[in-house]
Amino acid sequence: MTRQEFQERLQHAVLVADGATGTMLALRGVTMPYDLANLTHPDLVRELHREYYEAGARLIETNTYTSNRIRLLNIPERGTELPAAQSLLEQYGSPAEVVQRVNHTGVQLAREAVGADALVFGSMGPVGKPLEPLGEIRLQEAEQAFTEQAQALIEAGVDGIILETFTDPRELSIAVRAVRRLAPDLPLIASKGFIEDGETLMEGLPERVARELSALEVDAIGANCVVGPQRMLDIIRMMAHATDKPLSAMPTPGLPQLVRGQVVYDIQPEYFGRYAARLVEAGARIVGGCCGTTPEHIGAVARAVAGIKPRQTHVSITVHPRERKPEQLPLAKPSRLSQLLGKERVITVELDLPRGLIVQKVIDNARLLKENGVHLIDISDGARARLRMNVMAISHLIQEQAGIEVMMHFACRDRNLLAIQSDLLGAHALGIRNVLAITGDPAQIGDYPTATSVFDVDAIGLVRILKRFNEGIDLAGNTIGMRANFTIAVAYNPLAPDEELERERLQRKVDEGAHLVYTQPIFEMPVVERTAELCHQLRIPWFVGVLPLRSARHAEFMHNEVPGIRIPEGVLRRMADAPEECALEVGIEIAQQFLQQAAPYAQGIYLMPPAGNAQIALRVLQALR
């Protein structure tokens, strides 16, 4: 089918699309990833397509929503009965062959199930991981993945392609470009997922999205998933006001609930069908369903829209966006650290947390350090994946009870994108203004090696989130009511195995909005000098990491077993030659001597005493007096 033929079809009748694939496969015992059912349960997939066709759907989507190499081959087994990524690679030989096989089979099964009057559209979703700079997926990687999947779908003979449930406009435009480069005359639908947020919608987001999507080389635009029929009607009305492109609407059947481990929806098909008719009246020419919808829902849609002629012009409504510009939002109170940077040398000391609930010693040590001129307390966030109290809770307790600011380390390991933003908003509300953005150690090295590491984003993406909060908006562009005032710190390892990559990552962190650099413990002045020069070039202040050694064994462990730390032979020899009862004194003396040499090169000192010992920290700091 050509683009012109597709446009003509949409002019004359409403095109009914099918409903959920994953939901129905799950109800029939198939486990994620559902796309692999094309290979493992082809009869179930074929039967499902046939049920949607018999219910009245004439746009059938292939079971290939997650079938790009980034998403399909990076889903962990977690007990699934379907082949895991490694098994697929062993069976089919390469990622390209896996992608081709799953997509080809998906098109074939849909073709076999439906009549000649139905259109088979290849379903393509996002790569499933955030793109740079928020995440680690490079734009070129994403484009290659989209190109590879689109090529497989086109070779298999789809009538068109639908790009659905995209939330990142940039990623959607990359996918459009990949498809269009391969097939300039293939019908293409671009559909966005909108969050269930009436406030955001009334600020004019659907109109803005409609204008952006209309500028792409697509044949229809629309919205799918996330929201139910009522909210979808609001979205389509607003999009219709901003575009003359044909509109597609594929809502969920309302809000889901979890019952016996299954996500289920409770909206009746008749209700869903009534809203389908309203969606057509509002301007939609393609109407179907997304997660949670069944052939019964689609049957109700087909009956409700039968005989309704699609509107030939967009709906004229007036929307008064209530969006406020970031500079109009009030600005939160800054951290004391931000006011000290560049004016005096900052001293911060890292304190360790106990495993349980007894934290008074940490608070007492923080108070002692403050009384002796320390400006800041650093609290790590589950370093080495060890179980410790929530970093936000203890940071708040220290600030409230010891009266000294905290640099809260914040790891991406344990939180998805939603939890990251939620926790940071909570921290800001509690008065925590200083955040050291770190990726975090993988869970398998810690106390609970079977725990799941999330890593939706890395430290670079976390910096971007913090910067967005400082601009008064969250990652989705929604206002947070005021401009946050986080001081954003980042880590730098001057002795990383790939020094070029580490410098590149630091540059990206700075570009994303970092205010301050922390280093790993350093023991050599040439490393200090190189780091000072690099940070000077990047125009960003930095704190030199100083670690007092407590014994020869401690020195040997740090040098040989901790990545990014190198201890000179002379220091190792001094620690080894020191009598055991004097080793700590020698370690303090070495740290004092290094501190005297290194301090003039940095804007601050990041002191990491063994076991968070405040007395050792104060002994080392005597070198600055």
Question: What is the predicted pLDDT for the residue at 455?
Answer: 80
Quote the pLDDT of residue 442: 77
Band the pLDDT of 95: cuts 50, 70, 90.
confident
**DSSP state, residue 334:** P
Percent above pLDDT 70 for the chain: 91
Region 207-216 average pLDDT: 93
Mean pLDDT estimate for the chain: 90
Which value, to the nearest 10 degrees, does the dihedral of the CA atoms of residues 559, 565, 570, 573 take? -20
Contact 131, 150 (CB under 8 A): no
What pLDDT shows up at residue 31? Answer: 84
pLDDT at 448: 75
Query: Does the pLDDT at position 356 exceed 60?
Result: yes
pLDDT for 141 equals 94
* Rounded average pLDDT over 108-117: 97
108-112, 256-260, 498-502: which has the minimum mean pLDDT?
A: 256-260
Map residue 550 onto helix, strand or coil.
Answer: coil
Contact 143, 127 (CB under 8 A): no
CB-based burial, 322-357: b 16+ in 10 Å, e otherwise? eeeeeeebeebeebebbebbeeeebbbbbbbbeeee
Domains, the chain, with CATH or none: 3-305 (3.20.20.330), 327-549+600-614 (3.20.20.220)
Give helix then strand counts, H and E, for the chain: 25, 18
Residue 107 has pLDDT above 60, yes or no: yes
Q: How far is CA 156 from CA 107, 259, 271, in A?
A: 6, 38, 37
* pTM, rounded to two decimals: 0.73
Of 2-16, 72-86, 97-111, the range with the lowest mean pLDDT is 72-86
- The total of other beta-carbon atoms located within 10 Å of residue 409's CB is 23
Determine the pLDDT at residue 317. Answer: 42
Which tens digits make up the pLDDT trace of 140-160?
A: 999 999 999 999 999 999 999
Q: Please compute the mean of the pLDDT values over residues 400-412 and round it to a whole number.
A: 96
pLDDT of residue 259: 47
Residue 76's nearest CA partner among 445, 443, 462, 460 is 443
At residue 81, the pLDDT reads 36
Range in 103-107, 127-131, 419-423 the model is least confident about: 127-131
In DSSP terms, 248 is beta-bridged to 222, 286
Mean pLDDT of 30-46: 92
* Long-range contacts, stretch 93-97, CB < 8 angstroms, 24+ apart: 95/69, 96/69, 96/148
Cα 291 from Cα 306, distance rounded (Å)? 23
Q: Hey, what's the torsion of the CAs at 527, 529, 535, 538, to 10 degrees? A: -110
CA 182/CA 480 separation, integer angstroms? 41
Q: Is the pLDDT of residue 374 over 80?
A: yes
For residue 578, pLDDT over 80 is answered with: yes
H helical segments located in 357-498: 360-371, 391-402, 417-429, 459-471
Distance of alpha carbon 152 from alpha carbon 107, whole angstroms: 9
CA 142 to each of CA 69, 97, 465: distance values in angstroms, whole numbers, following the listed order: 9, 18, 21
Contact 379, 409 (CB under 8 A): yes
At residue 350, the 3 state secondary structure works out as: strand
pLDDT tens for 160-208 read 999 999 988 899 999 999 999 999 999 999 999 987 555 555 567 889 8
Residue for token digits 């796309």? 35
pLDDT at position 87 over 80: no
Both tokens of 261, joined, read: 């481990």
Strand partners, 406: 377
Looking at the chain, how many residues does it have?
625
- DSSP letter assigned to residue 186: S
Q: Max alpha carbon distance in the chain (Å)?
A: 94
pLDDT, tens only, 246-282:
999 999 987 655 445 555 566 689 999 999 999 999 9
**Closest of 228, 288, 292, 289 to residue 263, by C-alpha:** 292
pLDDT of residue 293: 93
- Range with the lowest mean pLDDT among 111-125, 445-459, 468-482? 445-459
Q: What is the DSSP letter of 291?
A: T
pLDDT at 477: 78
Lookup: tokens for 18: 């099918």
More confident residue, 451 or 377: 377
- Residue 82 pLDDT more than 80? no
Cα–Cα distance measured from residue 245 to residue 221, given in angstroms and rounded to the nearest whole number: 7
